Structure formats: structure tokens, C-alpha cells
Amino acid sequence: MKAGVVVFPGSNCDHDCYHVLKHVLGVDTVFLWHKDTDLQGVDLVVLPGGFSYGDYLRCGAIAKFSPIVSEIVDFANNGGRVLGICNGFQVLTETGLLPGALMRNRDLKFICKYVNLRVDNSDTPFSRMYAAGEVVGIPVAHMDGNYFIDPEGLAKLEDNNQIVFRYCDENGECIPGTNPNGSLNNIAGIINENGNVLGMMPHPERSAEGVMETRDGYFLFESIIKAIGGAA
Amino acid sequence: MSVYESFNYPEVTYPIAKEMGLTEGEFEGAKNLIGRNPNYIELGIISSMYSEHCSYKSSRVHLAKFPTEAPWVVQGPGENAGVISVDDEGLCVCFKVESHNHPSFIEPFQGAATGVGGILRDVFTMGARPVAAMNSLRFGSLKSAKNRYIFEGVVEGISHYGNCFGVPTVGGEVYFNDCYNGNPLVNAFALGVVQKDRIFLAKAEGKGNPVIYVGAKTGRDGIHGATMASAEFDENSESKRPNVQIGDPFKEKLLLEACLELMKTDYIVGIQDMGAAGLTSSSFEMASKSGSGVRLDLDNVPVRENNMTPYEIMLSETQERMLMVAKKGYEDKVKEIFDKWDLDAVVIGEVTDDGYVRLTWDGEEVAALEAAPLADEAPKYNRPYSRPDSQDLLQKTVKTECPEDIQGVLLQLLANPTIASKRWVWEQYDHMVRVGTVQLPGSDAAVIRLNESDKGVAISSDCNSRYCYLNPYEGGKAAIAESARNVAVSGARPRAFTNCLNFGNTEKEAIMWQFATALEGICEAAKALNTPVVSGNVSLYNETEGTPIHPTPTIVMVGVIDDVTKRIGSYFIDSSSTVYLLGENTGHVGGSEYLASIHGKELGDAPAVDLVHEKAIIEFMCEAADQRLVNAAHDISEGGLAVALAEMTFGAKEIGVTVKLESELAADALLFGENHGRVILEVSNVNAAAVEKLAEKHELPISRIGRTLSDRIEISADGRKLIDIKVKDAEDIWKNSIGKIMK
């Protein structure tokens, strides 16, 4: 398996994703420069967190027009696996690979902290190492993570079991007080209908090693390796 | 008509020089130095170089007394930032703290943001990738709407800049005191990682080498900012808002990546950040350090506004710019790298050898000044100082009545914004990016893993300015001792510090006395603990309408830990462990947060620091960490023993504590007194004997004071129960206090 981590100007979790994939999970990993159009034969594309192009317009809005992203759209449409974390999730909604939009946090402040997530769908290539309903601790760090979608779209996501992660309390209850940013239905991460593109606001790469507060994020990456390894 | 005449600058006279901040003596001295009347451009340059901010004219005499050497010091004061070794294989960390007080009062968001931007540039100019940022912040009481506005703006500015840039802001300190009402303090710290043989310095060597301007285009923002930062504030200060620079963290992120990419090559000779006094200080410092000269063709400088003049270009403080000297012939290679990152890189001049900085416009010289005399022989004042008589009254021992409701006092202290959780602040900072933050904010020190290895550094920023106000000497010692103690209780060995010396107007003898005396204390403690200074800055004139701040010499201590898995946090992690007190309670109430906030008195002598004892605590903690003997450790500081015990229960696990004390002290002095040299330890029972033995080895008093137990905080003294409250109830007050005030 080979993974590629996209580098936009302003990406700042690119090194972290590269580190976890390469050094912690031992995956052959390369950086993909935003001006390039060659995906170098990767099996997984990671769109990392950060502030692509400064995010001065709307998060992810400029990244959508970069040369590498049009290649990624084709890659995804052909079944390639794409993981968008934080700013990467924003880029995915801007390109239309995932439905909905990420608005400014409810309290209008940047928020960085560990949150509890409930794994609502453990039957995806990104979450198969978790148990359904399992509660995991993974940190968020964003200004615009307030997920919004129209009622029909939301019903579709719910009906298709496309909501992979939801903010919850330590017992897995998705009560309002556990929602850090105002997302509809406590949505923290969703997958596309085809099940090959996942976007999530929390940062699994930040909790993937024993020395961190938790190691719960590790299993997301391990899920992908298992999924791709199995397919190859 | 000459090119210079075409700018229609006014004739240079003393009144003009005075407007730019020069005294008559300095103006005359400058004329003697250059042997003629300077022209208008030259006068602007001279006044910036002579400003307190650039020249350290009032402080240099005293700064020379600091210890600056140790085997692990790679680069001491004088460069953009200091550097120390972390291991024997060339791994180093580079760090500095710097003030951005005045701009943050005038425009809190941009003032604080550009403070962060400036300190990050200082670090990556040296070739180091920033991996941690911290801040020491001080504001007036949050009861005032104006102070809340400043507090909120400063925190948002730091958050905006650091988060976008991609450096984790891993902690710091936040104090509230009325002395900062008209004059908040914003001291920004950054630390980066660099290999010893890849450190870059501010050099302009090699005649004919090109001088290259990189980064943002020059605008009119911040002209004479350094001069503004060197005067007291008055009611008109807010009209100086245009002097505050505007930050662009995205641009700086690009600049970082481009610079680090360039620094992997051997195309460049030297590099210098354009900070205070912009192109002026960067060009003069580079030329003077190398004993060379520089010619700058100012009409080639990229500008973002029309009709900018040489004077404006030389004094602009537009952010996100660097000046570098490349090897001749490599100009295009340098440009290629900057092109990749969509940044300007323009040759604007060359290195010469006549010792002068010469400025040209349309090929004609418009100003020429000798670099070395201006950079190195700026005025130096040994300002007179004397201890004011009023100090006796301040330091007199105060008698207080011990309140009946001790638990009520504890809860009031926990709600006090200076003591309460700073969660509201650090949750706005991305404190985890770069996956190196192995000790999250809220502990005594931040611990950062370096380069995905097991090696790391612990960082703590400290200064209790009330102690410095009551007793500058002991207060200065305390700032070093406490920051070193915080690093040590986190499991790291304190190695070196950087400082930001925030004081009032040292042209007043009493303020100069505070400055000189606090520095004596800092020097003595730094020598005793073998922690030299490697970088820092001085911020004077922190007064508004004649009222000075408390003397605030912020110390940021950096320690080294060989294996970050041996780090120690300050929250209880297990129940049924033994709780120890290392050190002794002397019940020193003078200068305490308790005395100030409960009794309304900022009086009494500051607690004295026993440096032999502090050294022993450091040795004890380093050994205890190395042998993994301690579960948790927490230094006792503001709020005393009771607050420290309560804080240790506020971790993720909500483990309570039962403590039984025996003491002749009054209950308030025992629980809330703030004498130094005390640490609370949580020790698993299996390690208890080893810990006691280790304390004995280091001749440290140690006593078993209780156990971690259940979900309550219970403290009794001499059989009388003083505190008995659920952890959750106390924690709610502590955790949400600032958030509630800021709603």
C-alpha cells in the first residue's frame, strides 16, 4: 500500500499525517504538491488539516481549484480512497465529493480539545477496527467545524448510515452539551455513498501513539491498511 | 535638483529630532558621531537605532551581569534567538521571548498576533523549525469591560496567528492585576528545533554578494513602531493605531517553508528578520556584525503602496519580511525556491567593504551612515537609582484575621481568574499540531517531544510580579526558581532561560531601582541553578499617565528530558497513593494571592527563596523522574497548599484527596501561605520508601500528608476539618470561572 499526503500552501498537519502513516504504521508515504497533477500511484490520498491558501475566503474554497484536487476528484470517482481531516474535510465538501458544508463554530471561537466520538458505522474501510457504538477520544482543532446540510440531505445521510462519527459523552450519548461546534445531529465525520471518501473534523493523527493522551486514532489508520491490503 | 531634494523632506533641526524621540544630547552626539548634520532619512534611522527598543540604552549596563555560558549553550544573547544542545548528536533547540505590550494595548488582536509572528521569525531565521509557542499575558481586572475587550482580543490574535502558522501554543501564564489596567503585557515565546551544524546567523559577508529581500511587500504600517514602544502612554496613545502592524500568518507560513527549504542548500551566507525598525535595524546589524558594509537600492524594494519614500521604506515595520545575503551567482536558485512558495525574492543591493550602509534611489545616493558606530555605540546610560522610602511601608508585616469559613476562601481563590483554569484561553489555541505536545496545557510545564524521538524539552513561563513589586530582589530570584521548579517537577532538567524584562520608566530612580534590584536577584538565582540566559528583550516605559506596572521580569525556562515517557504531570492519576509534601510550610502570607484577593492588601514582604534548597529539589525531581518514582508532582505557588492540592484533583480521572496536617500555624497561613520550595507528590505505595530515601539523600524535608481517595477534597489540620467538598463541585468553579466572566 502507498499513501499520499497533499501539501497545499498553508497545510500544517501534513507532516503529522506523514509521520503517523510512515513512522507509526510503516506505510510507504509520499507528499503530493498542490501544483502537481501526478498522484504517484497512491492507494490512499490524505487531505490534511491546516489553512489551505490561508483560508482567507472560505475554508477549502481555493484549494478546490488547485491542480492536484481535480486529479483527486477523478481518483475518488474511480473508487480511490480519500481521507479528509479538518481542513481536508472542508476541501471535500467544497469539491462536492461529500455533501453539506462546514460553517463557523457556534461560539465563533477556535476550539482545540479532546472530544468523545461515537463510531456509528464501523462497516467502512476507515472504521472497521472499531466496534459499532464504541466511544473513542480524539481531539478537534478548528474554527469552522459546524456541519450543516439541508433536511433532505441529512435524512439521506442518516438513512444510508453515512454518519461515521458523532460527538458524544463518555457513555456514547449524543446530547447537546457534547457538541463542540453546533454541528447538525452531532456530526463529526461522514462518508460518501460509495464508501470510499471520508471527511472528519477530529484529528486521528494526533492520538495515534502511546505517548499521547489516547491511542484511539491509530485504529482509523489501521482500518485503512486492512481495507486496502485486503483489496490488493 | 538631486534625487534627495525631490522628496521635499524638511530641514533637520533639533525639534524634528525630538519629534522622532531623540533627546538633545543624543541628537548632538549623533551629529558628532557622523561629523555632520544628518539628513532627514538618516535622522529617522538614527532615532530608531537609538530607541530604547533597539539600543537597550538604559539596560545594557545591567544586562551584562547575566550569566550566559554553560557547556550546553550553543548560542547566547546577541543573535535573533538563543540555542542550547539537547543531546550529543547535534540536536538543539532555539528559543526566545519578546514583548509586544504597547501594540497590544492600542490594537489587541493585531498587536498580539504580530507579537507571535515576530518571535516565530526570530526562531526560524536561525534555521530552526518552530515546534512550540507560549505566552505570558497580564491584564487589568476582568471587572472592567475595557480589560475584557483587551483580553479577548489578545487571545484571539494569538490564536489566529499561531493556529494558522501551524505552531502549537502549548501554554504560558495569564495574570490579572489592576496594575496592568492601562498597560497589558503580551510576551510571546517560541521554540524551534535545529541541528547544530545548520544554525544560521545574521551575517553580511563577502564583498559583492547580493542582498536579497524576501517575503511580504513593504507598506506604510508600523513606521516608527520601535520609537512608540519606547515612550510612556498618555490619553492620545490610541491615535497611534496606524503604528501597529498587520499580521498575515499564511504569508509567514510560506516564508517559513521557503526559508527552511533554502537553508538546506548552501546558497546563503546570512539571514536576518526584519523586526522592530524593519529594514533599518536588519541592514545595520548585519553589516556591523560582519564588519562589512551594505548598499541598498531602495527603489527596488517591493512595495504595496504608491509613492513610498526612502524614509518610509527604511522605517516600515511591515511583517513577514526577511533580509538575506546569498552567495554571488546563486540569485536565481534562491528565487526559484521562493517562486515555488509564491513569494517575492528581489535583489535590492550588495555587500560592500567600506563599513557603510549606503542607500540609493534611481542610482543616486540619498543617505550614508557608518554601520558599526550606530549599531554598537548607541547611547548607554547608567541611570541613577535609589530605593524609595515608601518601600518600607509596603514590606511591613501585615496582620490578618483568620476567616472562619476556610472552605469559602478556597472556593473564592479557585474562582479568582489568576488561579482559575485557563482552559478558556488555551482551548482557543491549537496546542496539539505537530504531534509533539506530550504534556497538554494545564500542567506545571509543557513537555514537547522533538523530531519524533523520545527526547524532549519542558518549558515553563513564570513571574509573580507582586513579589517583584514588594521585594524586587527576592521576586527576581523567585521568577527563576519557580520556572526551574516547574520544569523539574515535570521531569526535565532546567538548562537555560530567556527573559522579557517588563518595567516602568527607568528614567525615574525608583523604577530604575526595581530594575537593577530584580536583575540582581535573577542573576544570583540563575548562577546558583546553573541556568544561563540565552536570549531575551527589555520593555520599558510600561506606564500609563504616570502609573507604572509592577516590575515583571518574565522568565521562560527550558529544560531537557531524555525520554518523554518519563515526564510527570500535575494531576493525580491513581487512588490509594501516598501524598507527600516536599519542603515545609512556613505560613508566609505577605505578597500572597490570598492576602491580595481576600483581604485586598498588596502588602508584606515577598517570600524569600533558599537557592540551596531549590537546587536540591531540582536534583531530587530529576532522579525521581528518571527512576519513575512519582505519579504526579505539583509546585505550590499562588493560592498556597490548599489550591495546589485541589488543582491536583482536577485531572481527567477526578481522584480525590484526604490530607491531615499538623501545624502550629493559623489555618489561613497554613493553607494559603506562599513560601517557596514546596512540591506535592503523588507516589504509589510501592515507591514510597524509595522516595523518602531520595529526599533524605538530598537533605530535603518530606512528610506524608495524606492519600488519594474517593471523589472528595478533605483537608484537616490538628484534627479540625477545614475543607470537605466534592471534587466535581470545586472543579466546576475553577474550570468555568473565566468562561463565565467572558460570556
Choose the closest CB to B452 out of A19, A56, A206. A19
Smallest Cβ–Cβ distance between B435 and the set A10, A16, A54 belongs to A16
B155 and B253 share one domain: no
Q: How many structural domains compose chain B?
A: 3
Confidence band for B128, pLDDT divided at 50, 70 and 90: very high
Q: Does A111 touch chain B (CB under 8 A)?
A: yes
Closest approach of B126 to chain A, Cα-based (Å): 20
Contact of B189 with B498, CB cutoff 8 Å: yes
Q: Could you tell me if B607 and B639 lie in one domain? A: yes
Contact list in A for residue B341 (CB cut-off 8 A) is 9
Q: What is the amino acid identity at position B130?
A: P
Whether complex ipTM tops 0.85: yes
Q: CA-CA distances (angstroms) from residue B582 to B110, B568, B700?
A: 44, 16, 7
Interface list for A 174-203 with B (CB within 8 A): 203
Q: Above 80 in pLDDT, residue B319? A: yes
B187 and B311 housed in the same domain: no
Closest among B508, B376, B272, B500 to B54, alpha carbons compared: B376
Selection from B458, B457, B430 nearest residue B444 by Cα: B458
CATH value at residue A108: 3.40.50.880
Find the angle CA(B371)-CA(B373)-CA(B376) to the nearest 5 degrees: 100
- pLDDT reading at B738 higher than 90: yes
> Which residue spans within chain A are E strands per DSSP?
2-7, 28-33, 44-47, 81-85, 101-103, 111-119, 135-142, 146-148, 163-168, 187-191, 197-200
Domain presence at residue B36: yes
Percent of chain A at pLDDT above 70? 99
Examine the domain organization and report whether B370 and B265 are in the same domain: yes
Q: How far is B251 from chain A (nearest CA, A)?
A: 8
CATH of the domain at B211: 3.90.650.10
Amino acid at A197: V
Q: Do residues B43 and B83 both lie within one domain?
A: no
Q: Please write the tens of the pLDDT for every residue from B613-653.
A: 999 999 999 999 999 999 999 999 999 999 999 999 999 88
Q: Which helix (H) or strand (E) holds B42?
A: helix B40-49
pTM here is 0.96
The reply to whether B408 falls in a domain is: no
Closest CA to B536 of B188, B273, B104: B188
User: Rounded to whole angstroms, what are the CA distances from B536 to A193, B190, B501?
Assistant: 56, 11, 8
Burial environment of residue A153 by CB neighbours within 10 A (0 to 12, 13 to 18, 19 or more): middle
Average pLDDT estimate for B565-576: 97
Q: Is 60 exceeded by the pLDDT of residue B698?
A: yes
Domain that holds residue A13: 2-228
Contacts of A205 in chain B (CB under 8 A): 435
If asked whether residues B321 and B205 sit together in one domain, one would say yes
Q: How crowded is residue A109: how many other Cβ atoms within 10 Å of its Cβ? A: 17
Nearest one of B78, B44, B80 to B369, comparing CA atoms: B44
What is the structure's pLDDT at B242?
57
| Count of structural domains within chain A | 1
Of B319, B347, B377, the residue that ends a domain is: B377
In angstroms, the separation between the Cα of residue B170 and the nearest Cα of chain A is 11
CATH number at residue B110: 3.30.1330.10
- Does the beta-carbon distance from A109 to B156 stay under 8 Å? yes
Residue B62, in any domain of the structure: no
Q: Residue B410: inside a domain, yes or no?
A: no
User: Is some CB atom of chain B closer than 8 A to the CB atom of A141?
Assistant: yes
| Mean confidence (pLDDT) of chain A | 96
The answer to whether the beta carbons of residues B685 and B631 sit under 8 Å apart is: no
- CB pairs < 8 Å spanning A and B: 84
Per the prediction, chain B carries an average pLDDT of: 95
Q: Looking at per-residue confidence, does A56 or A215 come out higher?
A: A215
pLDDT digits (tens, 9 = 90+) for B494-525: 999 999 999 999 999 999 999 999 999 999 99
Overall average pLDDT of the B598-606 stretch: 96
For residue B640, give its domain range.
568-742
Same domain as B613, residue B471: no
Instruction: Tell me, yes or no, whether B167 and B48 share the same domain.
Output: no
Please tell me the distance from the alpha carbon of residue B691 to that of residue B623, in angstroms, as a whole number: 10
Are B590 and B647 in a shared domain?
yes
Contacts of A111 in chain B (CB under 8 A): 427-428
Q: Which chain A residues have a beta carbon less than 8 Å from that of B450?
A: none
User: Which string of b and e fits B290-325 if b means at least 16 CB within 10 Å?
Assistant: bebbbbbbbbebebeeeebbbbbbbbbbbbbbbbbb
**Domain presence at residue B414:** no
| B607 and B494 inside one domain | no
Pairing relationship of beta strands B578-582 and B679-683 according to DSSP bridges: antiparallel
Amino acid at B387: R
Based on the domain organization, do B701 and B618 belong to the same domain?
Answer: yes
Whether residue A172 lies within 8 A of chain B, CB to CB, comes out as no
Per-residue cell: B238: 490610541
Mark whether B580 and B550 lie in a shared domain: no
Nearest CA in chain B to A107: B743
Burial of B128 (0-12, 13-18, 19+ CB in 10 A): buried
Query: What spatial distance separates the first Cα and last Cα of chain A, rounded to whole Å?
Result: 8
Which pLDDT belongs to residue B228?
Answer: 58
